[in-house]
């Protein structure tokens, strides 16, 4: 996220994370993520599934396993989704020695867009190249297209380098549809074996600058060495994108 966005946030208190994401400190018991020892194997390609995070509980009715959607899954036919890759152009977002946020999230966003289109959705990407798009334009796309959902994709950064994992942000007064998608995203991220944070609330411009349902996904922390190393691999980005597609598909059902 950008300092422009920070300026757009109306309510205090705010804490600036390393990538410039205005991270609103919520006095909720679910905000802190569990801190686990960093995985140490430098040659690790795919991490073992982490234990379930205590901050996130899947519904008791969750099936034990669910088959991958068939190629003929058209459950999003007629749905309009705006896929927003954060940052771009002169705004790199967060950085790590493995890559910049703007590059990582564009690749994830392209994979998400492709997956949603395979399920029949009409997808609009706010950017499909290394360009800077004003936040207002990103938000306006959701209204202009009458989107069923805007999903903004980012990678986080924090001074605490142990902070890690996949998280979802929704507006403070998020509508029911946004909450449902956020919950489905967390469930699918857990199913995909991603380490989890939780659902947070903040009035980011891309969440409140329009009247459509919206979520902002933080795919991991570039300030955390293990997250940054994983996000530098196409396999992991595909896994993250797959979880986002599955979550959107289920959340919009
Ligand atoms: Zn960002």
Question: Residue range 34-62: average pLDDT?
Answer: 44
Q: d(Cα 190, Cα 200) in Å, to the nearest integer?
A: 16
Residue 16 lies in a domain: yes
Question: Residue range 149-160: average pLDDT?
Answer: 98
Structure-block tokens of residue 174? 């998020």
Question: Residue range 173-185: average pLDDT?
Answer: 98
pLDDT of residue 14: 36
For 131-148, the pLDDT digits (tens) are: 999 999 999 999 999 999
pLDDT of residue 233: 98
pLDDT of residue 56: 43
Query: Among candidates 219, 235, 248, which has minimal Cα distance to 116?
Result: 248
Asked if 151 contacts 220 with a C-beta cutoff of 8 angstroms, the reply is no
Query: Among candidates 9, 5, 3, which has minimal Cα distance to 202?
Result: 9
pLDDT of residue 141: 98
How far, in Å, is the centroid of ligand 1 from the Cα of 56?
Answer: 23
Residue 192 lies in a domain: yes
For 95-128, the pLDDT digits (tens) are: 999 999 999 999 999 999 999 999 999 999 999 9
How far, in Å, is the centroid of ligand 1 from the Cα of 215?
Answer: 13
Indicate whether 164 pLDDT > 50: yes
Q: d(Cα 153, Cα 161) in Å, to the nearest integer?
A: 21
For 218-228, the pLDDT digits (tens) are: 999 999 999 99
Indicate whether 77 pLDDT > 50: yes
Question: Residue range 45-50: average pLDDT?
Answer: 49
pLDDT of residue 15: 36
How far, in Å, is the centroid of ligand 1 from the Cα of 98?
Answer: 16
27 φ/ψ angles, rounded to the nearest 5 degrees:
-80, 45
Residue 167 lies in a domain: yes
Ranges 54-68, 158-172, 197-211: which has the least confidence:
54-68
Indicate whether 232 pLDDT > 60: yes
Q: Is 172 left (phi over 0), alpha (psi -120 to 50) or beta?
A: alpha
Residue 147 lies in a domain: yes
Indicate whether 57 pLDDT > 70: no
How far, in Å, is the centroid of ligand 1 from the Cα of 58?
Answer: 26
Residues 6 or more apart in contact with residue 112 via CB below 8 angstroms: 83, 151, 153, 241, 244, 245, 248
Query: Among candidates 104, 106, 125, 105, which has minimal Cα distance to 116?
Result: 125
Question: Which CATH number covers residue 175?
Answer: 3.40.630.40
pLDDT of residue 100: 98
Residue 97 lies in a domain: yes
pLDDT of residue 239: 98
**Which strands sit side by side in the sheet containing 196-201, from one edge to the other?**
122-125, 80-85, 149-156, 214-221, 166-170, 196-201
Q: d(Cα 130, Cα 242) in Å, to the nearest integer?
A: 23
Query: Among candidates 123, 152, 144, 126, which has minimal Cα distance to 214?
Result: 152
The structural domain count of the chain equals 1
pLDDT of residue 68: 57
15-24, 63-72, 224-233 — which one is most confidently predicted on average?
Answer: 224-233
Residue 53 lies in a domain: no
pLDDT of residue 73: 83
Task: Report residue 230's pLDDT band, with 50, 70 and 90 as the boundaries.
Answer: very high
Asked if 142 contacts 208 with a C-beta cutoff of 8 angstroms, the reply is no
Biggest distance spanned by C-alpha atoms of the chain: 47
Structure-block tokens of residue 189? 């991220």
Whole-prediction pTM: 0.75
Residue 178 lies in a domain: yes
How far, in Å, is the centroid of ligand 1 from the Cα of 74?
Answer: 31
Domain that holds residue 228: 3-26+77-251
How far, in Å, is the centroid of ligand 1 from the Cα of 65?
Answer: 32
Residue 198 lies in a domain: yes
How far, in Å, is the centroid of ligand 1 from the Cα of 97?
Answer: 16
């Amino acid at each position: 996220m950008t300092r422009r966005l920070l300026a757009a946030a109306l309510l205090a208190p705010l804490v600036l994370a390393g990538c410039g994401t205005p991270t609103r400190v919520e006095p909720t018991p679910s905000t802190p993520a569990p801190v686990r020892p960093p995985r140490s194997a430098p040659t690790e390609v795919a991490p073992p599934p982490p234990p379930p995070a205590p901050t996130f509980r899947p519904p008791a009715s969750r099936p034990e396993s669910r088959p991958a959607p068939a190629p003929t899954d058209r459950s999003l036919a007629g749905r309009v989704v705006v896929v927003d890759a954060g940052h771009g152009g002169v705004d790199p977002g967060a950085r790590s020695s493995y890559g910049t946020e703007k590059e990582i999230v564009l690749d994830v966003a392209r994979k998400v867009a492709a997956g949603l289109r395979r399920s029949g959705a009409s997808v609009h990407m706010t950017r499909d190249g290394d360009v800077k798009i004003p936040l207002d334009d990103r938000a306006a796309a959701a209204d202009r297209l009458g989107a069923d959902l805007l999903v903004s994709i980012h990678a986080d950064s924090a001074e605490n380098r142990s902070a890690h994992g996949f998280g979802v942000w929704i507006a403070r007064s998020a509508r029911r549809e946004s909450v449902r998608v956020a919950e489905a995203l967390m469930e699918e991220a857990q199913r995909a074996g991603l380490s989890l944070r939780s659902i947070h609330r903040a009035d980011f411009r891309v969440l409140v600058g329009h009247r459509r349902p919206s979520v902002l996904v933080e795919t991991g922390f570039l300030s955390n060495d293990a997250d940054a190393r994983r996000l530098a691999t196409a396999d992991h980005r595909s896994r993250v994108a797959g979880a986002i597609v599955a979550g959107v598909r289920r959340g919009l059902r």
